[in-house]
Structure 1
Amino acid sequence: MLAHAREHVPFYAGRIPIGDDPYRVLATLAPLDRETVRRAGHRLHARNGSTQGWRATHTSGTTGEPLTVVFNHPPQELEFKLLTRHADRLGLPQGAGIVHLTLHAPGPSQAMAAPWGDGRTLTKWNLARVWQCPDPEFRGAVRWLDGKVLTGKPTVLDLLAARADAAPAGVIVSGETLDARARAGIGAGLHCPVSSLYTLAEVGIAGSECPDGGYHLEPESVHGEIVDDELVLTPLANRAMPLLRYRTGDRARWLPADCGCLHPGPRLELTSTRSPRHLLTTSGQPVELSRFLETLGALPVTRLALSAEGPGRVRMDYSADAPLTPVNRERAARPLRAALGLDTEVRFVQHKGPHWPASDGQPTNPPQPEVGLDLLADDVAAWLAAWFTGRELRPEAVALTGSVLTPSARTRFSLVDVTVISPAAPDEWADVVRALRRDLTALRVHVVDAPSGLAACRLSAEARVVLGRLPEIAWPTQAALAAEGRAWCRQAADTLWDRLTGSPIPPADTLRTAYVAQHLSVTACRYLHLASGGRETGADAVLAAELDPEEGATVFEAVAVAREHRPPPPEPDAGRDYLRQAMRLVGMVAAVL
C-alpha cells in the first residue's frame, strides 16, 4: 500500500520515505484528519488503473461536514467476506441471505451473490419507499426478512423493530454506536440475537464485536494504532483512495488478546466514540440528529444536512431541483418542533443541481433520475396552477394521472404525468413544456386537443384536474381500444426484444429493468381490460383484474421490485426473467386483441 500510494497518489508525492520496515515508514507520516482529507479531495485518488467499479461513499455528516471517500472493488468484496465471517462466528444461518437495510431516499436497492461462489447473497434494501405504505401493507412486505441476517445502522433497525412483525435469524448493526437501550429494543422487537461491527464510512469494516467485550480489528481490512488515546487506522484494501494513518476521532485502549474467541485480530475497547452532532432545544438541551431519521428520510431531496444555529434554531440544507413545498416544509418542521420546542425556528436552504457538496470542485454524487418520495399530488397541483397563472398561452385544462395520484405505486423512475388540453398545436407548447420541465425535471407532459384511446380512458377514470375544466370526453369503443392496443403491443414487443437481446444486464440495473417490465406489463393489462369492457385504469386494479396471482407471479414480483416493496433478487438473470415474462404477456394480449 505504501509503494502504491507513493507512486500513484498525488497527495503522497514526496511524503513517503523508502525503507525496509513498512511499519516504521508508516509511523513517519503525519496522521490524516477529516479536514485534511476534505482539502486534499481528488489528490488522494489513485491515478493508475480504471475507475470503473469505483463507489463513492458519503459520511452521514452527523459528526460534522459530510466527507466523500471512493472505494475500488476489492474493499467492497472484502466487506462482504468479513460480514459473512462474523455471521459464521455467531452461528447465524445464512442460507436465506444477508440483507443490509437503509432508510435514505437516494440509494437504490440492489443485490449480489458472493464473488467466491458459495451461494451466499448480500442484498441492500432501501426501506424508504415501502415505509410510506400503510401499516398492514408494510408489515406484509417486511415478512420477506424472515429467516435472514439483517445489517444496518442501529437507528434503522430500532425503527424497524418498533413497527415490523418480522422474524430474522439475527441482526448485526454497524455505522453508529450501539447502546444498551437500542440493543435491547432491537432484540426484543425482532426476537433475535444482536451483535455489532465497528465500521466507519471512510474505512469500511474495521472490527468485529468480541463475545468477551470490545472489538477485534480485522487484519485483512486495517492496521490499527492508538496515538494519544485516539484510534488511528490505515485501510489496507482500498487502493482507489488510500487513507494512511487516518484519525478516526474515536478514543480507545488495547485489551488483552486472551479472550478465547480465536479471532486473529488485536482486541480493543472504544472508550468514547465520535459524538454525533446535536440540535438544541429552545432551552439549550442537546438532541441527537438520528431522532429525525424516519421523517427526514422521506423528503423529496437528494441530499440533506441539519445543523444547529442556536437553541431552538435549526438550519436545513437540502439539494433538490425545486424548493420544498409548504406541505413538505411543514412535514419536516413538525417533528423538529415537537422534539426541540414549539417555538423552534427552521430555516430551509436549497442547493440546486445534483452536485452538492463537492470536493475540489468535482461532483461527488451523480444525479439520480428519481421522483421524491413525498412529491404529493396536492403540491404538484398547487405548483402547476400557480405556474400557469398569468401566462400568455393558456390551456383549456391541465390534469394529473398516474402514480403521482397513488404514492404506493411509485418507483424511483416514475414520472409525473401531466396532460394539457389545448387547441393549439403541440409545437406551440414546446417552449412552455421545456420551461415546466426545467423547474420540475420529473414531469412528462402530453399536449392534446381531443383525447382518444387509452389517454381518454385514463383522463375519464383517474384524472385529477388542477386547472380549467376537462372537455366532455367520449369513452372509446372496445374495437378502437383493441386496434390501438395491437399497435402498442407491436412497439412494446420491439422494445422488450431489443433489451432482451442487448448487452447483459448487470445486477445494478435489475431495479430499472424491473421498472421497464412492470411498466409495459401494466399498460398491456390496461388495454386487455379496457378492450374487454372494463373501466379500471389504475395499475393495481388492472393487474388484479387480468393476471392470475400464480401464473403472473413473475410480473407481480417485478412490480414489487420496481417499487422497492421488496429488494431485487441476486440472480444475474433476474432482469431478463422480468423482461421475458413481460414479453409473453404482451404477446398474449396482442393475440387476444
Structure 2
Amino acid sequence: MTDDSGLAELLRFAQRTVPYYQNRIHAELLDEATAAQALAELPVLTRSEVRAQRGRLWSTEGDTRTWKRIRTTGTTGEPLEVVLDQQAQRQELAVLAAHADGLLGSTAWRSRDLLHLAMHGSAYSRRVPSPLHPQSQVGKWNLSRVWRLPEREFYAALAYLDGQIVTATPSVMALLVDRIGRLTPPARVSPLLVVLSGEIVTTDLRDAVAARLNTRVTSMYTLAEAGVVGIGCPTGVGYHLTSSVVVEIVAGDGSPVTSGTVGRVLVTPLANRAMPLIRYNTGDEGVWAAEDCGCDGAGRLLRLTSARPGNMVIEAGGSRVNTVDLAKVSAQLEVDTVRIRSDGDGLVVEYVATTPMTDTACAVLTSAVRLAVGRHISVDVRRIPPWSPGAVGSLGGRDGQIMPFTVPSVLAPDPVVRWLRDELADTQDLLAACLTGSALDPAATSRFSDLDLTLVVGSDPVATRWRALATGLHERLPTLRVNVSTPADLADSALVTARLLAENRPVIGDLARCGIHFPTVGAASAEARLWAQTARAVLWTRATDPAPPGSDVLREAWLATKYTLDALRYFALAAGQRTTGALTVLAAARTWHVPDYPTLVEAAEVAREHRPPPADSAVCGRRYLEAALAVVEWLVCSLRHPPSELS
C-alpha cells in the first residue's frame, strides 16, 4: 500500500530543502500521479551512503533543537546516526496506540503505563509523560541488574509488569519467559499486552510468551531509523504495512520483484522531515506474501526472510542463521560485530569487542541465536579482541588498529581480583590491596557504583609512582576507584577502616598484618558527628534547590541511598556492631525505627533499577533526598545517647 499524496509531499520537501536530493529528484511536477515513478527513478540509499552523506541528508528547514539523534547499526556493526523530527519521534507510539486500540477493544488501556524492557548496559531506565493519556507514562526499564537478583527478589520485581503494556525485543522476551518458567513455584506475571519488535519474531516464541505470561502478544516490524514499518499479522505469516512508510522489495538492480520473489527491502519513511531517507536499504530481505491471510489487518503483507546471499550459514539440523539477523542485537550489546560458525552439533558465536560482555549480555546474544536456529542448539559465545588477526577483514575490524587490553567497566569481582593480582604482583612497597564497596554484591550495585581498590603502602601515598599506577588502572577499568593509604592514615578513618575489614575482597596481603583493626565505638561516634554535618549540608542544599532535582531520578535516588547507607553504617558502628554491608544495614534499619523506612527502600530499588523508574521523577527525587536528610537527623539524635543505649 502506497500513500501517494504523502510520498509526493515528502519528495517535494526533499527536493526543496535537502542538499543530497536537490540534484537527484528531477521531476518538475510532483503529485500523486507521478510520485511513485519519481521514487522508482531514485538510486537506492545504502547505509554506507548515509554515513558518508550524513550532513547533506539533513534538511535546511526545521527547528534542530527539537530533533533527536539516534544511533543504530549496519550489517557490519558500524554505527549509523540518524536524526528524527518531533513528528517522526511520535509516529511509532501513535501506530502502536492505534494497533493496541484494535487488539484490546477500546482506548481505556491508554491510562496505563507503557514499558519497554531492555537488557544491555547502556540502556538507561527512565520514564516520561505519555502523549496518549494525561495519567500514563512511557518508560524504559533496564533489567540487567534485576536479572542478577536471587530468584525470590527477581520474582517480586516482575510484579511491576502486571497490567502494563510491555514492549521488548524477541531475544530479551525469550530469556524472560524461560527464567519465569524455571521459578519454583512458577511465577504468575500477566502484562495487559506484550509487543515484540526489533528482531524477527517466530510463531513459537509468540505462542510461548502468550502462554507463559497469560497475555495477548503482537509484533511489529520496526527500524530505529524508520519507525514502524509493519504490524504483525495474527496468523504469523508476515507484517501488514503501515501507511507511514512506503516499502519496496527490489532485485539487485533496484527493479521491483514479482510477487513471491525474495528481494531487498527498501523503506521510505513519510513522517521524518529532519533527515528524509528515501529508498533506504534496510539490510533485510523479504517477499510479498499472499494477502488473503484471513485476518482483519489492512495493508499489503510483507514476509521477512533470513536467507540472505553471502551471509547465510547452514547449521545443525538444516537451521539457518545470519550475521545480519544479529546486527541490531550486537549493536544494543555494544559490540562491534558478530560472526557465527559451526562447531560439531552446535554453534560458536564470535564477537569483536575491546572488553568482554557481561553474563547478562551473553545470555541475550545466545537467546537471539537460538531464536533463529532452534532452542535445542548449543551456543558458545567467545570474544575476539579488535587487534586479533581474526577480527580484521572477515569480522569487519577497524583497519587492524591495535588497542591496549582492557577489562570491562562492569565485571564480577573474581575476574577483577585475578586481573589485579597480575597487575600488582611485582609492585614494591605494597603491603596489602583489597577490593571493597557495594559493587562487590550484585544485588547492591547501581550504574553509579564504584569498585573501590585500596592500596596499603609503606610510605608516601601521594608519590608520583602511586598516582601513575592509580591512573593506569582507572583508565583500563573506568569504574575502579583507586585509594592509596598508609596504615596510619586508615587508623584515622573509622568508617573506611570498618568497611575495609567488613566488606573486603583480598587481592594481595593481609590487612590485619598491616596493623589495621576495627575502630572503637568512640572513634566511630566522633567521626559520625563530623560526617553528619557535611551530609546534612549536602542533602539540604540539594533538596532545597529551586531547580527541582529529579530530572535524573536514578542519580537522585543513588545520592539519597549513598548518604542513607553511610548513616546506617555509622549507627551500627556506634552501637558496637561490625557490619557495614549495604544490604545488611538497610535490612536491619527496619528494626531501628528509622524514619520513613519504605521511602528509603524505594530509593535504593530505584537507584539499582530493581523497579521501573517512578512516574513523577521530580517529586520522587526530592522525596528521596528529604528521606535521606531525615535519616541523617535521626543519626545525630541517636548519637546524643551513650553507645550502650543505641539499638
- Whether TM-score is above 0.5 comes out as yes
Of 178, 197, 211, which aligns to 1:188? 211
2:183 maps to: none
Paired AA for residue 269 in structure 2 = P
1:80-122 per-position Cα deviation (integer Å, ceiling 9, x unaligned):
2322222222117344411111222221111111136522221
- 1:381 equivalent in alignment to 2:417: yes
Kept in 2, the 8 Å contact 1:153–1:175? The answer is yes
Q: CA deviation at 1:310?
A: 7.1
Alpha-carbon RMSD: 4.0
Q: Distance in 1 between matches of 2:387 and 2:123?
A: 19
Moved more, 453-462 or 576-585: 576-585
Q: CA deviation at 1:387?
A: 0.9
Of 82, 94, 110, which aligns to 2:95? 82
Alignment partner of 1:420: what SS? strand
Instruction: Please list, as runs of the form range in 1=range in 2, the aligned pairs for 1:273-288 lying within 5 A after superposition.
Output: 273=305, 275=307, 286-287=320-321
Kept in 1, the 8 Å contact 2:145–2:608? The answer is yes
1:71 maps to: 83
Paired AA for residue 607 in structure 2 = A
1:356 maps to: none
1:583 maps to: 629
Moved more, 42-51 or 200-209: 42-51
Q: Distance in 2 between matches of 1:247 and 1:113?
A: 34
| CA 232–341 in structure 1, closer or farther in 2 if over 3 Å, else same | closer
Identity of aligned residues (%): 34
1:526-545 per-position Cα deviation (integer Å, ceiling 9, x unaligned):
11222222221010111111
1:365-389 per-position Cα deviation (integer Å, ceiling 9, x unaligned):
xxxxx9744x121111111111122
Q: Distance in 1 between matches of 2:67 and 2:456?
A: 46
- 1:348 equivalent in alignment to 2:384: yes
Q: Distance in 1 between matches of 2:13 and 2:269?
A: 13
Q: Distance in 1 between matches of 2:209 and 2:362?
A: 30
Q: CA deviation at 1:418?
A: 0.9
Alignment partner of 1:29: what SS? coil
2:392 maps to: none
2:193 maps to: 170
Alignment partner of 2:515: what SS? coil
1:445 maps to: 482
Of 539, 553, 571, which aligns to 1:510? 553
Paired AA for residue 82 in structure 1 = V
Kept in 1, the 8 Å contact 2:497–2:519? The answer is yes
- 1:552 equivalent in alignment to 2:597: yes
Kept in 2, the 8 Å contact 1:529–1:546? The answer is no
Q: Distance in 1 between matches of 2:381 and 2:134?
A: 54
| CA 526–105 in structure 1, closer or farther in 2 if over 3 Å, else same | same
Paired AA for residue 520 in structure 2 = T
Alignment partner of 1:427: what SS? coil
Q: Distance in 2 between matches of 1:131 and 1:445?
A: 28
Kept in 2, the 8 Å contact 1:514–1:561? The answer is yes
Instruction: Please list, as runs of the form range in 1=range in 2, the aligned pairs for 1:114-513 lying within 5 A after superposition.
Output: 114-115=130-131, 117-164=133-180, 165=187, 166-209=189-232, 215-219=239-243, 221-225=244-248, 227=250, 228-229=256-257, 231-248=265-282, 249-253=284-288, 261=296, 267-273=299-305, 275=307, 286-287=320-321, 302-308=334-340, 314-320=349-355, 346=382, 348-350=384-386, 372-373=409-410, 375-391=411-427, 393-428=428-463, 429-450=466-487, 451=490, 452-470=493-511, 471-500=514-543, 501=545, 503-505=547-549, 507=551, 509-513=552-556
Alignment partner of 1:579: what SS? helix
| CA 275–38 in structure 1, closer or farther in 2 if over 3 Å, else same | farther
2:642 maps to: none
Q: CA deviation at 1:46?
A: 4.2
Alignment partner of 2:446: what SS? coil
1:364 maps to: none
Alignment partner of 2:194: what SS? strand
| CA 412–268 in structure 1, closer or farther in 2 if over 3 Å, else same | same
Where in structure 1 are there 5+ consecutive unaligned residues? 353-360, 362-369
2:615 maps to: 570
Pair member with larger Rg: 2
Paired AA for residue 521 in structure 1 = T
TM-score of the two chains, using structure 2 as the length reference: 0.76
Q: Distance in 1 between matches of 2:191 and 2:535?
A: 40
Q: Distance in 2 between matches of 1:441 and 1:148?
A: 36
Alignment partner of 1:76: what SS? helix
- 1:91 equivalent in alignment to 2:104: yes
Alignment partner of 1:417: what SS? strand
Q: Distance in 2 between matches of 1:69 and 1:401?
A: 39
Q: CA deviation at 1:421?
A: 1.0
Q: CA deviation at 1:185?
A: 0.8
| CA 205–2 in structure 1, closer or farther in 2 if over 3 Å, else same | same
Alignment partner of 1:398: what SS? strand
2:69 maps to: 55
Where in structure 2 are there 5+ consecutive unaligned residues? 1-9, 181-186, 251-255, 258-262, 389-397, 399-406, 640-647
1:538-592 per-position Cα deviation (integer Å, ceiling 9, x unaligned):
1011111124699322221121122111121232423222222222222332333
1:1-49 per-position Cα deviation (integer Å, ceiling 9, x unaligned):
4455445544334223353427254444223233433443444344664
Kept in 1, the 8 Å contact 2:436–2:500? The answer is yes
Q: Distance in 2 between matches of 1:21 and 1:415?
A: 60
Q: Distance in 2 between matches of 1:406 and 1:557?
A: 18
| CA 408–329 in structure 1, closer or farther in 2 if over 3 Å, else same | closer
1:40 maps to: 53
Q: Distance in 1 between matches of 2:81 and 2:570?
A: 48
Higher relative contact order (Cα pairs below 8 Å, separated by 6+ residues)? 1
| CA 90–511 in structure 1, closer or farther in 2 if over 3 Å, else same | same
Q: CA deviation at 1:255?
A: 6.6
| CA 147–313 in structure 1, closer or farther in 2 if over 3 Å, else same | closer
Q: CA deviation at 1:254?
A: 7.6
| CA 270–217 in structure 1, closer or farther in 2 if over 3 Å, else same | closer
| CA 499–205 in structure 1, closer or farther in 2 if over 3 Å, else same | farther
1:415-449 per-position Cα deviation (integer Å, ceiling 9, x unaligned):
11111112322321222211221222211112221
Alignment partner of 1:303: what SS? coil
Q: Distance in 1 between matches of 2:240 and 2:362?
A: 45
Q: Distance in 2 between matches of 1:332 and 1:187?
A: 20
Moved more, 34-43 or 413-422: 34-43
Kept in 2, the 8 Å contact 1:2–1:16? The answer is yes
Q: CA deviation at 1:271?
A: 3.1
Tell me the matched-pair count: 562
Paired AA for residue 433 in structure 1 = A
Paired AA for residue 117 in structure 2 = L
TM-score of the two chains, using structure 1 as the length reference: 0.83
Q: Distance in 2 between matches of 1:74 and 1:439?
A: 42
- 1:19 equivalent in alignment to 2:29: yes
Q: Distance in 2 between matches of 1:571 and 1:333?
A: 34
Kept in 2, the 8 Å contact 1:102–1:126? The answer is yes
Q: Distance in 2 between matches of 1:186 and 1:200?
A: 22
Kept in 1, the 8 Å contact 2:498–2:519? The answer is yes
